[in-house]
Structure 1
Amino acid sequence: MVDRGFELETRLRQREANDLKRALSPVDRVAERGYFAEPSGGNLPVLESEEALVFASNNYLGLTDDQRVQDAARQAAATVGTGAGASRLVTGDTLVHHDLERLLAETKRTERALTFSSGYAANVGTITALEPDVIFSDELNHASIIDASRLSDAEVVIYDHCDAGDLRAKLTARSERASESAPSAEAGSPAADESWLIVTDSVFSMDGTVAPLEAICSAAERFGAWVMVDEAHATGLYADGGGIVQSESLENRVHVQMGTLSKALASQGGYVAGSNELIELLVNDARSFVFSTGLTPPAAATASEALHVSRHSDAREKLWENVAHLRDGLEALGLDILGDSQILPVIIGDRRDALDLAAGLREREIVAPAIRPPTVPEGTSRIRIVPTAAHDEADIVTCLEAFQTVGNEVGLL
């Protein structure tokens, strides 16, 4: 009989042979330190006896175990419920959701905001609901942007990473094509009935680079395109708890601001902020919103309180102090550090060297996994180091000492 199934074992063996097989390694809590378990497959995990320092989390402000944030989650669960119970358009819409969306809109300096069950759902729902004819996308954009662009059926034009000049060139070339196909359109402009969307992360999670948003907005305005910015790794960390858009005062030039609640805001979910008309469209046409159960009330309350803490405490200041200390120390060791943000990619190059360095760090109770292809390009394997506001000076010193010791042992220093 013909077997039309899937060769799963073969595919897994191939991943293992290429050093690409990943496994789950549970931890007892989400914080700046914790007890980890070895990968156990489907068996019950067993926690190790030594506590490890975590320098790989997106819990940038260290708020996952903040008492104020946890109390907000508990109160929401007790008074509203543990889950929304249905789509927001059915019975899953609560005052907790609206309070969070009001605060997000205030922070992002927009008319309204809307929350989704995940950042992935926010990107997919928004881009497909907009139905752009052409999407101009940074080559290193997040997978959710890539997948959303595919699902939208738009023509996708990739421009070089953080290169506004290349974006302008791609816009110009596409405009010339549009003008040729629509002679009645104004010279140098896209066809009148064609919609263009420029999409970029603001902070890129694997490189730590920051998009040149002002230059991107200028290019967009030259050609009448809309701009969508994914602030997943920036929300809560910049001006008044906002992102790069707020730090550069570009709210009136960026049409769609997207972000997550699952990183600096210590919760789960995603959001989109923009005009009243944009949010009304998403409420009606974003399938990942319409056909998903609403964000849980405890998640919404958690994000609200975390955003309040971000705006009205010294958490952001502590984070940036730790970032500066760690970057200076790593560079003093002679390591190559990319980026301009809280994400500090230590470029190693060779895949095997990066894995050996990560393993050596782990033996010294520093959790900082290796990032290798296909997540990053060949020859750029790295250790992605991320401090949090909850790390103290001794933690940073311990991390740097481990890098120095292991770097010498594996021949990288």
Structure 2
Amino acid sequence: MEDRGFDLEARLATLEENELNRTLSPVDRVAERGYFAQSCGGELPVLDADEALVFASNNYLGLTDDQRVQDAARRAAATVGTGSGASRLVTGDTMVHRDVERLLAETKGTDRALTFSSGYAANVGTIAALEPDVIFSDELNHASIIDGCRLVDCETVVYDHRDVEDLRAKLAARADRDDAPVDADSASDPNADACSGSDSSASASSDSSSPDGTESWLIVTDSVFSMDGTVAPLSALCDVAEEFGAWVMVDEAHATGLYVDGGGVVQAEGLEDRVHVQMGTLSKALASQGGYVAGSDALISCLVNDARSFVFSTGLTPPAAAAASEALHLARHGDARERLWENVAHLRDGLETMGFDVPGDSQILPVVVGDRRDALALEAALRDRNVVVPAIRPPTVPDGESRLRFAPMATHEQADVVACLEAVREASEEVGLL
């Protein structure tokens, strides 16, 4: 009999040969420092003896082990339950869900918000539910956006990273090709009927969801790009979108909680009325799990009915919703954001003083070293000095652009940042990068 299965051993061997194999390294706590274990497959992990400084986490505000956040999760578990038990549309909708969604909508300046089981589910479900005819996507958008584009029966046009003129040219070329009239006022209204033409049985190519019957266009971008630390020019993107009547969707996964009043870049630039779909996560600065979408009442009502990743998933656990709600409250009214940006500035200045180029202008500080072997060597040398910073390599980043991704937290002390910089200097000299 022919073997029609899968040669997984060969796949793993290829990954090992190309130095692309990844392993899991358990840690005892999610915080600014912790004890790590070596990868042990399916066996019980054994923690290493030395505590390590963590400059690798998306726990930007350091709220995962904040007593107030933990207490909120405990109260929700004791009062509501440890899990939702069903889809939100069945019996999995609770007051805890409504509380965090109310606070998210208030923070994001929208009518409503809706939580999903993950940020990935939020992006994939929202893009698929909108069923745009054409998606214009930044070339460095997150994988969940890319996969959302693949799920939709539409054309995806990729524009150069953060390049508004390239986007404008591609919008114009598409408009010229199809000679499609555009009513910018109705197409760009965030309160327009988002459900129009959303019947999942209809083909996107034959049943447009644009209010005036022309093609529906969706421009999608991250606000903070997770591997480059760059920030999208959102105001300029909104300008060009309004020229052509397109909608704008912004992924604020790495921005939520870090900017004005606990919002994201959309709030920092005052664009709440110009961005139609604001997406984000609860699993980074908000110290929990899950994703969300914020927008008009019509948008959220459509997602409740048409986003398959929402409809057919068990609701977010009540402890996760309560933890995110408390974390968002602390992000808005505490001093964690200020402490984070102080640590970011200190670490960036130190890395640049050593001679490293640190691109971007966010809390994510990438140090591009080029060759993946150099990146892996620097990661290992830092780990020997009990500092954890991940080497990011292909396929996550392009060939020749391997890097270390530094991410300080609000809970790092000044001495922690100094210790990290000293370790970077020693490790870089050891592997020949300085």
**TM > 0.5 between the two?**
yes
Aligned to 2:253: 232
Any idea what SS the aligned residue of 1:254 has?
A: coil
| Displacement of 1:378 | 1.1
Partner in structure 2 of residue 82 of structure 1: 82
Question: 1:75 corresponds to which letter in structure 2?
Answer: R
**Distance between the aligned counterparts of 1:206 and 1:157, measured in 2?**
21
Number of the residue aligned with 1:291: 312
| Residue of structure 2 equivalent to 1:367 | 388
SS in 1 for 2:220: strand
State the alpha-carbon separation in 1 of the partners of residues 154 and 41 from structure 2. 40
CA distance in 2, matches of 1:372, 1:293: 34
Using the alignment, how far apart are the partners of 1:361 and 1:301 within structure 2?
36
1:49-68 to structure 2, matched below 5 A, reads 49-68=49-68
Letter of the 1:363 counterpart: D
Q: What SS class does the counterpart of residue 206 from structure 1 fall into? A: coil
Query: C-alpha displacement at 1:374, in angstroms?
Result: 1.0
The equivalent residue for 1:156 is 156
Letter in 1 for 2:382: L
The structural deviation recorded for 1:193 is 2.3
The Cα of 1:379 is off from its aligned counterpart by 1.1
CA distance in 1, matches of 2:182, 2:319: 52
Using the aligned pairs only, state the percent identity: 76
Q: 2:413 aligns with which of 392, 396, 405?
A: 392
Give the distance between the partners of 1:187 and 1:269, measured in 2 at CA. Answer: 36
The verdict on how the C-alpha distance between 1:327 and 1:187 changes in structure 2, with shifts beyond 3 A counting, is closer
User: d(CA) in 2 for partners of 1:186 and 1:245?
Assistant: 25
Aligned ranges for residues 227-376 of structure 1 at < 5 Å?
227-376=248-397
Q: How far does residue 306 in structure 1 lie from its aligned partner after superposition?
A: 0.1
The AA in structure 2 aligned to 1:7 is D
CA-based RMSD = 1.3
Could you say which residue in structure 1 is the equivalent of 2:196? none
Letter of the 1:139 counterpart: E
Please list the CA deviations of residues 159-196 of structure 1 after superposition, one character each: whole Å capped at 9, or x if unmatched: 000111110011000111110xx6xx469999942100
Instruction: For 1:107-118, list aligned pairs within 5 A.
Output: 107-118=107-118
Show the counterpart of 1:102.
Answer: 102
User: Are the structure 2 counterparts of residues 260 and 187 from structure 1 closer, same or farther at C-alpha, using a change threshold of 3 Å?
Assistant: closer
Match of 2:133? Answer: 133
Instruction: Give the aligned partner of residue 220 of structure 1.
Output: 241
Matched, 1:144 2:114: no
Distance (whole Å) between structure 2 residues aligned to residue 226 and residue 343 of structure 1: 28
- Please state how far the C-alpha of 1:7 moved relative to its aligned partner: 0.8
CA separation of 1:10 and 1:194: change in aligned 2, threshold 3 A: same
3-state SS, counterpart of residue 174 of structure 1: helix
String of CA shifts for 1:267-326, please: whole Å, max 9, x gaps.
000000000000000001000000000000000000000000000010000000000000
Q: Give the whole-Å Cα distance in 2 for the aligned partners of 1:178 and 1:202.
A: 30
Q: Please name the residue that 1:199 is paired with.
A: 220
Q: Which amino acid aligns with 1:345?
A: P
Distance in 2 separating the partners of 1:306 and 1:186:
42
TM-score, structure 2 as length reference: 0.93
The 1:130–1:241 alpha-carbon spacing in structure 2 relative to 1, beyond 3 Å, is same
**Do structure 1's residue 209 and structure 2's residue 230 form an aligned pair?**
yes
Residue 199 of structure 1: SS of its match in structure 2? strand
Q: 2:11 corresponds to which residue?
A: 11
Shift of 1:398: 0.4
The whole-number CA distance in structure 2 between the counterparts of 1:319 and 1:384 is: 16
1:171 matched to which residue of 2?
A: 171
User: What amino acid is aligned across from residue 53 of structure 1 in structure 2?
Assistant: L
SS of 1:334 mapped into structure 2:
coil
| Aligned-residue offset at 1:50 | 0.4
Secondary structure of 1:197's counterpart equals strand
Once residues 174 and 319 of structure 1 are traced to their aligned partners in structure 2, the CA distance between those partners, rounded to angstroms, is: 42
What is the CA-CA distance between 1:369 and the residue it aligns to?
1.3
SS in structure 1 at match of 2:327: helix
CA distance in 1, matches of 2:254, 2:26: 23
Question: 1:25 aligns to what SS in structure 2?
Answer: coil
Aligned residue identity for 1:406: A
One-letter code of the match for 1:200? Answer: T
Contact 2:182 2:245 in 1 (8 A): no
1:129 is matched by which residue type in structure 2? A
Q: Which residue does 2:427 correspond to in 1?
A: 406
Say if 2:182 and 2:244, in contact at 8 Å, map to a contact too: no
Say which SS state the counterpart of residue 317 (structure 1) adopts.
helix
Q: Mark the CA change 1:198 to 1:187 in structure 2 (over 3 Å): closer, same or farther.
A: closer
Scaled by the length of structure 1, the TM-score of the pair is: 0.97
The superposition leaves residues 139-178 of structure 1 with CA deviations (integer Å, 9 ceiling, x where unpaired) of 0000000000000111000000011111001100011111
How many residues in Structure 1 have an aligned counterpart in Structure 2?
409
Counterpart of 2:38 in structure 1 is: 38
Instruction: Go from structure 1 to structure 2 and tell me whether the alpha carbon gap of 1:87 and 1:186 turns closer, same or farther (over 3 Å shift).
Output: closer
Q: Following the alignment from structure 1 to structure 2, what is the Cα–Cα distance between the partners of residues 39 and 170? A: 46
CA offset at residue 336 of structure 1?
1.4
Report the CA distance shift for 1:187/1:281 in structure 2 as closer, same or farther (over 3 A): closer
Going from structure 1 to structure 2, the CA distance change for 1:77 and 1:89 (only over 3 Å counts) comes to: same
Moved over 2 A (4+): 185-193
